[in-house]
Structure 1
Amino acid sequence: ATLPAVSISDEQLAKIDRELSDEQVEEYLALIGRKKQLTYALQEYKSLMDKARKQQLVLEARKVLRRFFDYISAPLLKALSLYVTRLLSDTPFAPFELTPDFEFTVMSGRPVSRLSTAQRDLVMVLFRIAVARLLQQTRGLEPAFLLLDSVGDSLDETNFSYLMSILSGTVAQMFKQIIVTSHHA
């Protein structure tokens, strides 16, 4: 509530000034200063409370969005994991899993990042093939061609053999034509 404005004449002010001691004036001025400090602190507190409420809303919104994303992406992640596991079935790397945090694991939980370069490249090529196939299916497209450029260049003989076997077997059933370029001897 706002107090009504008070007007005071110079005579009244002079009378009040004569009646107040210097100590009372200093005390009054200190109270005015303290009031200003408390008012500022209260405004800061209100501002911080508003920020905290907004941050809380953002955190809650993030949680809701994350749950929604997980709900929406779970079938896609499962489908990709199944496709890659199917492609890896003749290798020592099955099963493959793509987690909600988009981490790749093989062999029941081993991170792909811990595989050798050749092993990791094999798994990732097969992942890209699975993505291509899933995109075709989700778009309702007929199997078309698959172009793999410079694939297998970093693969050792064992992993290159796995790749060629998978391409000529399972992958050949997914696409009408497969074109592979490689510097692998």
Structure 2
Amino acid sequence: MKIVIINYGAGNIQSIKFAIKRLGFEAVLTDNVDDILAADKVIFPGVGEASSAMSKLRASGLDTLIPTLKQPVLGICLGMQLMCNASEEGKTKGLEIFNVDVVKFSNKVKVPQIGWNEISNLKTNLFNKVKEKSHIYMVHSFYAPVTNETIATSNYDVDYSAALQKNNFYGTQFHPEKSSEVGEQILMNFLEM
């Protein structure tokens, strides 16, 4: 199986590569269009700020490639947010895969949310063998509200989308590569699709 992690200079990509290796697979870090198109699975990571990350995607042409991919694609954290219509962070236009706008948490809570939180309302085979109210690792100041594409929720002041899915595109607000056995199961479920 050919697994590609999109390398566009916005990410915590080594920890994802190591997590996949722990599951017995190898992943290639690349921004090469042919490699991405030939992959069986594509992981779209992201850590950082939305507008600068989108600038990097536009500079490499990946902003037009990613929405056309036909194989399973997993966006992680900022990767998921960039797959949405837009983000309040830097007033950024997204890839418009998920039909929702990313917004900032209110000033009633400390941001970013950093640490372990529960996921609930788990749907689709991304969460096979994952129990309701499992704990996952979050680091974020912005969130996607609950929508009809939500496949898991979490709560931090408000209920929000912990994961999204539309066709072959999946996104997790949390970091499966930092979420212990639960995260490994979610990554394995994605790789087995």
TM, length-normalised to structure 2: 0.25
Instruction: Point out which structure has higher relative CO (alpha carbons under 8 A, 6+ apart).
Output: 2
Higher-Rg member (1/2): 1
